[in-house]
């Protein structure tokens, strides 16, 4: 077996893949550190990256970080390694969200679906534009549900009545967001004006998309203005295909797991020619989030799926700017014993955590 080492180009490609993951408001709330001896990638919450009002408990931050962890796993597997992931590996260091390391040489590069996922990492992005009326066939729905299940989450496609209820919750959350001055101000900070070339986070105006003229689909209004000259209204699909992503529990590890499941679903959808946009508003209000899923499940994301325009891409930070060069702080023996007693979750790319 060859040495578990990456050259600089492969390292940067892996981090670039991680950075291509979706994040709330395209805030990209992550940092990466490489432990050279074991080629372990440490995924950390970036200092000050959280959204104080929109995401006070860090749920969306963990979801975003989980998506980046999944992309990192896919990229490492693409280069011939089997990655093993540990979620929240150090209770003494809560900003350390995950570690990903290669344990052994895989038998060749991934084939089939896994290879498809790597090929769409940089092409996948949200489309907040109207989709066609073409329904999503049963088989892709089954595939997407299985993709979420592979990461220890559930993806369900609600019936028409339940879809109406979930969209009503989202509309209620959207209305609350528009009336909350702190959330409005926070949201607007991530909308970038033109010209956009200098920004590497946030959302360009072209990516915001229009509002639904019939007001059936509560698309997020990042500006909280609803002015036709700012966000024009267009007719969206009359029977939207909505999927609900849930987990059995609601711990930080579940948020990270849900983020990995979300990205696996989004990449597979892109590989199948489906467009997707995320309706996260209801998850930002505890009472509405609790109402979104029947007990004992916990809701994490509504995903709108369909066929339509690709939508503009949003920028990403260059990989070199999110890699921390200083070595990770070594744990004391007491900290190591504490971490071992907490038994952080460990699993490989094809095995869902227990």
Residues 75 and 40 in one domain: yes
Q: Does the pLDDT value for residue 90 go beyond 90?
A: yes
Handedness of CA 210, 215, 219, 221 (dihedral sign): positive
> β-pairing, 40-45 with 96-105?
antiparallel
Residue 332 falls within a domain, yes or no? yes
Cis peptide before 15 (omega within 30 of 0): no
142 and 52 together in one domain: no
Same domain, 49 and 190: no
The domain that holds 341 is classified in CATH as 3.40.109
Are 49 and 21 in a shared domain?
Answer: yes
How would residue 223 be classed by pLDDT, with cut points 50, 70 and 90? Answer: confident
pLDDT above 90 (res 159): yes
Is residue 197 one of the residues assigned to a domain? yes
- Same-domain status, 250 and 289: yes
Would you place residue 162 in the very low, low, confident or very high pLDDT band (cuts 50, 70, 90)?
Answer: very high
Identify whether 271 is part of a domain: yes
Do 251 and 115 belong together in one domain? no
- Both 100 and 146 in one domain: the answer is no
- Which CATH number characterizes residue 243's domain? 3.40.109.10
3-state secondary structure of 151: coil
> 164 and 299 share a domain?
yes
Q: Which domain holds residue 257?
A: 138-306
Rounded to two decimals, the pTM is 0.89
């Amino acid at each position: 077996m060859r040495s578990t080492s990456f050259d600089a180009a492969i390292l940067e490609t892996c981090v670039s893949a991680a950075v291509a993951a979706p994040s709330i408001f395209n805030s990209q709330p992550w940092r990466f550190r490489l432990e050279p001896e074991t080629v372990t990638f440490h995924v950390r919450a970036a200092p000050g990256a959280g959204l104080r009002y929109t995401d006070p408990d860090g749920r969306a931050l963990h979801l975003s970080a989980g998506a980046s962890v999944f992309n990192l796993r896919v990229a490492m597997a693409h280069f011939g390694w089997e990655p093993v992931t540990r979620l929240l590996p150090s209770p003494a260091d809560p900003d350390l969200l995950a570690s990903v390391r290669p344990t052994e040489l895989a038998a060749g590069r991934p084939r089939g679906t896994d290879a498809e996922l790597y090929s769409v990492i940089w092409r996948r992005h949200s489309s907040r534009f109207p989709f066609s009326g073409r329904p999503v066939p049963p088989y892709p729905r089954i595939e997407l549900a299985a993709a979420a299940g592979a990461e220890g989450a559930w993806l369900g496609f609600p019936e028409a009545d339940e879809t109406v209820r979930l969209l009503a919750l989202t509309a209620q959350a959207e209305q609350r967001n528009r009336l909350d001055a702190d959330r409005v101000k926070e949201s607007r900070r991530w909308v970038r004006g033109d010209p956009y070339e200098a920004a590497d986070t946030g959302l360009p105006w072209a990516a915001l998309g229009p509002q639904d003229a019939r007001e059936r689909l509560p698309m997020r209004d990042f500006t909280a203005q609803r002015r036709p000259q700012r966000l024009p209204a267009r007719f969206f699909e009359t029977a939207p295909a909505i999927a609900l992503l849930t987990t059995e529990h609601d711990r930080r590890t579940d948020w990270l797991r849900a983020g990995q499941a979300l990205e696996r679903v989004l990449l597979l959808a892109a590989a199948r020619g489906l467009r997707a946009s995320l309706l996260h508003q209801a998850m930002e209000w505890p009472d509405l989030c609790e109402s979104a899923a029947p007990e004992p499940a916990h809701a994490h994301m509504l995903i709108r799926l369909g066929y339509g325009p690709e939508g503009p891409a949003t920028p990403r930070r260059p990989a070199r700017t999110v890699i921390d060069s200083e070595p990770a702080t070594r744990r004391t023996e007491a900290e190591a014993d504490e971490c071992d007693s907490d038994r952080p979750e460990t699993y490989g790319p094809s095995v869902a955590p227990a």
